[in-house]
Structure formats: C-alpha cells, structure tokens
Amino acid sequence: MKKLFLLSFSLLALTACSAGISNSEPVEAGEKLTHICIRNSPTHLKYSEKEIAQFISNSLNKKRISSEVYTADLSENCTYLLTYSFAGKKNAIIRGKMRLSKYENMQRTSLGEVSYKYRHEEKNKFAQNGIQGQFDLMVSELLINY
C-alpha cells in the first residue's frame, strides 16, 4: 500500500511540475479561420504591445491565418478575436493565457483558450527559440485542429 501511495504521489508531483501548456481548450475544427483580430493588452514584458502583436501574428502566419490589431473599434472583418494576458520576466513569458472568441450579432462566444507556464524543460526550449517559440507553442496548441 505504501509503495502504491508513493508511486501515485510521485506521478502527481511530476505531472504538477510539467512545463509549457497547463490548460488547453483548443478551438474545434469547423470554424473558417482565415483572419483573426488581435486585441492589444499591456504586459510587464520588455516588448511593446506592437511587438507582442507581431509575435502573435508571426505564429498565426505559420498556420496560414492573417491578422490585424484592434484597440477599441472592431472593423467589419473582425469576426474572430484573440485576447491575451501575459506576466513574466522582462524577456520571457512566465505565465500566459490566450483566448479566441467569435464576435457575431453583437455577442462574443468563446471558442478556445490556452494557458502557459514557464517551468523546467521550457527553459531549454526558451534558450533555443526565444519568446517567439513561446508564442508559437501557445498558438499551435490553441489552433491544434487547424
């Protein structure tokens, strides 16, 4: 019984310390995602809102999805809205969240969300890929079905 308890506890501890994506509700296939509007938000990172939007745009381009930035007024072609919140060191995201919503008939419907945590093996990935790699991971997980 003790061995089973220790094994279960070790597995739980290792799972809790896992890195990267901590919560994922990817967007289901079926949406016609060709263009996404990115809502800028302030962060404590050393990058400007414009640079953050460019990182996200680069990741979306890898999925063949175009993007534009909006602040308050939505343009007519903004059906899909990407919002985010990031906290971290000056040059790396320690915790982050991205949410994709659909804006139709003056109502927003959440389509998917992904949460990110920077731990253990993410440090090695960050050393190789930098902050763009963090954005690539989050966007690819959010849009895994595309």
Q: What is the pLDDT of residue 16?
A: 42
Mean pLDDT over residues 77-85, rounded?
A: 92
Here the tokens at position 112 are 């998917």
Q: Which fold has domain 21-142?
A: Rossmann fold (3.40.50)
Here the tokens at position 87 are 């906290």
Tabulate helix, strand, coil % of the chain (nearest 5): 35, 35, 30
Which has the closest alpha carbon to 65: 106, 31, 107?
A: 31
- The region of weakest confidence among 2-11, 22-31, 48-57, 75-84 is 2-11
Q: Global pTM?
A: 0.80
pLDDT at 17 over 70: no
Higher pLDDT, 121 or 68: 68
pLDDT at 113 over 90: yes
Task: Please report, for the chain, the start and end positions of each structural domain, with discontinuous segments joined by +.
Answer: 21-142
